[in-house]
Amino acid sequence: MTPFQERCVERSGLGAILGKVLAGERLSAADGMTLYVHPDLLAVGTLANEVRERRHGGVAYYIINQHINHTNICVAGCKFCAFYRTARQSDAYVLSVEDVERRMREHLDKPIREIHMVGGVNPELPLGYYQDVIRAMKRVRPDVHVKAFTIVEIAAMAENFAMTPEDVMRRLQEAGLGSIPGGGAEILTDHAHQVLFRGKIDHRAWIEIAKTAHRLGLRTNATMMYGHVETLEERLDHMRLLREAQDETGGFMAFIPLAFHPENTRLSHLPRPSAADELRNLAVGRLMLDNFAHIKAYWIMMTPRVAQAGLHFGADDLDGTVVTEEIYHRAGSTSPQMIGVPEMIGLIEEAGRTPVERDSLYNPVGAAAALPPSGPRAVSPSPVKPIAAREMAPQA
Ligand code: V47
């Protein structure tokens, strides 16, 4: 942070939090509330950017991945969801193992490193289906990392198959499961659970299963879907629970704040969070979750350009290239379904950051793997270059 930025943050009234940030002290829930309601969003972003650059320098991560949603049949009945169907609806579907293989083969020309698969809570699917799908993925691409099935889906499998979540995860791990995506956390409070997603596990079970996954060696992510019925206190409670669990296990990789998309849901009367809300939630996440290495600006939700701005509000990761995504597109997302690697790199470079291709566990890969392996400042922050200036640079 430059002395000028420090003075600006102090003058905005955030001097006490700045002091804690510079001393590496943990922020309290009251600090979190100040960050949420403070009128100077840029000052909040400057604080988050300081922590982000201390951890990651100028690096911004991305992954070449493919999303597959294996079924939209779901019995949970969440009010915020535009994706789910009942088994009787005409557009309900379950992908067969062969369908999943076909979807992967359609993209064999791309160097995809990760399959991200999630779907509805579909009680008709046997354990063998999930195991066969994972094995099929490994058949098509032996080196692919399978990040699949949310903690909610795992809890439902455990109930349906009369197994413990631990045994379900062990069986999926044996089949080739590599990690668990962060979905299904929504807002980890009783109030949000009662109002929005009574058909799914509550926050106690979600946290417990996440910690069990970590103990089995499965890394997980954690989302927070905000901008519906929750209060700011509930968002901060959500972050406190994640931070406490992370203190115990260290197994979370990334925090992913997801702005609620109301279109085609039972909450379609609600307004959609603004781009400013999206940037603020990235920043508050970065500052409150001091033990999370990565904050993801999920471009497919935020649009590529808001996610790009997020790289200066605490985010260090844009997720992946994503081939066909249904959950947000059914709820009104206007982002494209996919961006190519050159576009992803361009998006990061335009923001003045250094693109680093990663694997699912945040190891640099490809050309980035050749970078010197030292501390978080290994790649120094690149200066923000105006696009026009770069385009006008003299040709060698
Ligand atoms: O659990 C569903 C959310 C999640 C809506 O781990 C909605 O890397 C907003 O988990 N408006 C699924 N949000 C997606 C998910 C995810 C996404 C990107 C990366 C990772 C990761 C995980 O999407 C659901 C729910 O919280 N969601 N409907 C909606 N209408």
Distance 385 CA to ligand 1 centre (A): 33
Note whether 41 and 47 are within 8 A (CB): no
Which atom of ligand 1 is nearest to 332's Cα? 30
Let me know whether 41 and 160 are in one domain.
Answer: no
Note whether 243 and 212 are within 8 A (CB): no
Model-level pTM?
A: 0.92
- Residue of 181, 277, 293 whose CA lies nearest to 235: 277
Distance 161 CA to ligand 1 centre (A): 25
Please report whether residue 112 resides in a domain.
Answer: yes
Let me know whether 13 and 93 are in one domain.
Answer: no
- The helix (run of H) or strand (run of E) holding residue 257 is strand 252-259
Could you give the percent of the chain with pLDDT greater than 70?
90
Pull the structure tokens for residue 81: 């969801």
Say yes or no to pLDDT of 33 above 90. Answer: yes
Which residues form the domain of 91?
Answer: 58-370
Let me know whether 124 and 169 are in one domain.
Answer: yes
CATH number of the domain to which 332 belongs: 3.20.20.70
Pull the structure tokens for residue 325: 């995504």
319 lines ligand 1 (CB under 6 A): yes
Say yes or no to pLDDT of 369 above 90. Answer: no
Q: How far apart are CA 137 and CA 150, in angstroms?
A: 18
Let me know whether 144 and 170 are in one domain.
Answer: yes
Contacts of 45 (CB under 8 A, 6+ apart): 279, 280, 283, 312, 313, 314
223 lines ligand 1 (CB under 6 A): yes
Let me know whether 66 and 46 are in one domain.
Answer: no
pLDDT for residue 372: 54
Let me know whether 39 and 71 are in one domain.
Answer: no
pLDDT for residue 370: 67
Break the chain down into helix, strand, coil percent, rounded to 5.
45, 15, 45
Please report whether residue 308 resides in a domain.
Answer: yes
pLDDT for residue 156: 97
- The helix (run of H) or strand (run of E) holding residue 13 is none
Let me know whether 42 and 173 are in one domain.
Answer: no
- Per the structure, the count of domains in the chain is 2
Distance 72 CA to ligand 1 centre (A): 14
179 lines ligand 1 (CB under 6 A): no
- Residue with CA closest to ligand 1 atom 10: 183
Please report whether residue 382 resides in a domain.
Answer: no
Our CA dihedral for 93, 326, 214, 141, rounded to 10 degrees, sits at: 80
Say yes or no to pLDDT of 346 above 60. Answer: yes
Let me know whether 46 and 70 are in one domain.
Answer: no
Let me know whether 209 and 80 are in one domain.
Answer: yes
Let me know whether 96 and 236 are in one domain.
Answer: yes
Mean per-residue pLDDT over the chain, rounded: 91
225 lines ligand 1 (CB under 6 A): yes
Let me know whether 62 and 82 are in one domain.
Answer: yes
User: Quick one: how far is CA 267 from the chain centroid?
Assistant: 22
347 lines ligand 1 (CB under 6 A): no
pLDDT band at 386 (very low <50, low <70, confident <90, very high): very low
Lowest mean pLDDT among 44-48, 130-134, 324-328: 324-328
Contacts of 237 (CB under 8 A, 6+ apart): 29, 188, 189
Pull the structure tokens for residue 292: 């999370």
181 lines ligand 1 (CB under 6 A): yes
Which atom of ligand 1 is nearest to 80's Cα? 30
243 lines ligand 1 (CB under 6 A): no
Say yes or no to pLDDT of 394 above 90. Answer: no
68 lines ligand 1 (CB under 6 A): no
pLDDT for residue 160: 97
Higher pLDDT, 377 or 312: 312
Let me know whether 257 and 217 are in one domain.
Answer: yes
